[in-house]
């Protein structure tokens, strides 16, 4: 089994490369909706460490004395709205809940199963960690309550910048991440330090896009998605082009930002599995590696060009380059995760080579500088 702790317990989260699961809990449904075969525990064992989750309340239509029975479930598609008292299975209690029925797409795994799987994994693998990214959800307070209740002692309650947190600090924990909408909905009951951290996209359309070192949670740069109307083959080409542009833009930003690269494509009618199999053909895996390497290489070159000053003795964090840290995939399995894990060795080699080249260049620049008359020195 892949163990990220083997990369070094003092490695920061933004210094490693790991697999992320796109629409992680959609293990059923039609061919245009299903995105995963394995449950959360199975994906974690395969090597996934970040899970993309959208949660809504499914109305089961069963009436009870205190309302209808509902369950918090992952979803992929569009859910109708309908707020009423409901007996929430995940909590075993009656709450006011926005519950609806699926109008386009499918419901997936229940939130209780998702959280139980996550807790079971980090309990069995106490050196590892999991990140649960909740986005485009309904009933945020109920989701937070379920996370705190069902994860128990495995819930990460640390504060501060998750990007620069070490693997040692995350070991044996499940990190719960809500988008800004979710944080605003639950912060009065679950303030910083209670187990709910924020995840913020620096590529988002709204709000501040600048990196903040004192931020409580994770800050990332990246975006998935392809045009719905594109043909099967065109989606893969479009995704490569889009992701390359995103990684180039990310290289211009702060090196501590976590990069998120999507090796996925979207559509309305086509089989997600068929597109996924084509994306993971030998030819396209080679393109994934190339795309990832180019993203890192561009970041290193940008950092060196901007921050190397031969007159200074300390170069600080010059070689902490922005890199695609998370590679998001559909139908996550051990083979895909091993491919992604292998990128850690590519990163180490690239940074080592860059450091050697930098050392040689600085030595030469200093030698040249020493030969100049003092009046001509910068």
Residue 141 CB-density burial (10 A; 0-12 exposed, 13-18 middle, 19+ buried) = middle
C-alpha 46/C-alpha 99 separation (Å) is 33
Per-residue pLDDT of the chain (378 residues; tens, 9 = 90+): 999 999 999 999 999 999 999 999 999 888 778 889 999 999 999 999 999 999 999 877 665 555 677 889 999 988 877 666 677 776 777 777 888 778 778 999 999 999 999 999 999 999 999 999 999 999 999 999 999 999 999 999 999 999 999 999 999 999 999 999 999 999 999 999 999 999 999 986 665 678 999 999 999 998 875 554 555 556 667 767 777 777 777 767 788 999 898 887 555 445 677 766 666 676 777 777 776 677 666 666 665 555 444 444 333 444 456 778 998 998 999 999 998 898 888 766 665 565 555 555 556 655 666 676 655 555
Give me the torsion for CA of 134, 136, 137, 143, rounded to 10°: 20
C-alpha 250/C-alpha 260 separation (Å) is 10
C-alpha 107/C-alpha 53 separation (Å) is 12
Q: Where are the domains of the chain?
A: 19-128+230-376
The secondary structure of 201-238, three-state, reads ECCCCCCCCCCCCCCCEEEEECCCCCCCCCCHHHHHHH
C-alpha 25/C-alpha 107 separation (Å) is 9
pTM of the model: 0.83
Other CB atoms within 10 Å distance of the CB of residue 21: 28
Query: Is residue 53 within 8 Å of 25, Cβ to Cβ?
Result: yes
Residue 27 CB-density burial (10 A; 0-12 exposed, 13-18 middle, 19+ buried) = buried
Bridge pairing between strands 324-329 and 258-262: parallel
Render 148-209 in DSSP notation, one character per residue: HHHHGGGB----SBGGG-BHHHHTTEEEEEE-HHHHHHHTTTS-TTSS-EEEEETT-SSS--
Say what angle helices 111-124 and 140-151 make with each other, to 10 degrees.
30
- Maximum C-alpha span of the chain: 91
């Amino acid at each position: 089994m892949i163990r990220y702790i083997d990369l070094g317990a003092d490695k920061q989260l933004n210094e490693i490369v790991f697999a992320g699961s796109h629409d992680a809990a959609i293990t059923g449904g039609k061919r245009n909706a299903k995105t995963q075969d394995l449950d959360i525990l199975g994906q974690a064992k395969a090597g996934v460490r970040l899970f993309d989750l959208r949660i809504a309340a499914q109305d089961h239509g069963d009436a009870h004395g205190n309302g209808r029975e509902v369950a918090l479930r992952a979803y992929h598609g569009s859910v109708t709205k309908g707020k009423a008292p409901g007996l929430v299975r995940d909590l075993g209690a009656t709450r006011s809940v926005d519950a609806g029925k699926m109008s386009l797409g499918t419901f997936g795994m229940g939130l209780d199963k998702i959280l139980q799987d996550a807790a079971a994994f980090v309990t069995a693998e106490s050196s590892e960690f999991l990140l649960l990214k909740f986005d485009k959800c309904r009933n945020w307070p109920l989701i937070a309550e379920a996370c705190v209740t069902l994860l128990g002692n495995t819930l990460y309650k640390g504060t501060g910048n998750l990007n620069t947190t070490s693997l040692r600090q995350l070991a044996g924990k499940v990190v719960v991440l809500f988008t800004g909408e979710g944080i605003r909905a639950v912060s009065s009951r679950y303030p910083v330090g209670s187990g709910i951290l924020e995840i913020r996209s620096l590529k988002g359309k709204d709000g501040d896009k600048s990196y903040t070192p004192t931020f409580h949670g994770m800050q990332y740069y990246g975006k998935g998605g392809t045009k719905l109307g594109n043909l099967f083959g065109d989606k893969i080409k479009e995704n490569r082009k889009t992701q390359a542009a995103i990684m180039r833009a990310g290289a211009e930003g702060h090196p501590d930002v976590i990069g998120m690269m999507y090796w996925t494509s979207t559509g309305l009618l086509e089989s997600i599995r068929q597109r996924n199999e084509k994306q993971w053909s030998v030819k396209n895996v080679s393109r994934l590696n190339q795309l990832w390497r180019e993203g890192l290489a561009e970041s290193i070159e940008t950092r060196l060009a901007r921050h190397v000053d031969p007159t200074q003795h300390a170069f600080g964090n010059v070689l902490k380059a922005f890199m695609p840290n998370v590679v998001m995939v559909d139908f996550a399995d051990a083979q895909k995760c091993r491919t992604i894990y292998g990128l850690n060795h590519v990163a180490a080699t690239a940074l080592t080579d860059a450091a050697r080249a930098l050392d040689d260049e600085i030595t030469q620049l200093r030698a040249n500088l020493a030969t100049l008359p003092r009046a001509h020195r910068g």
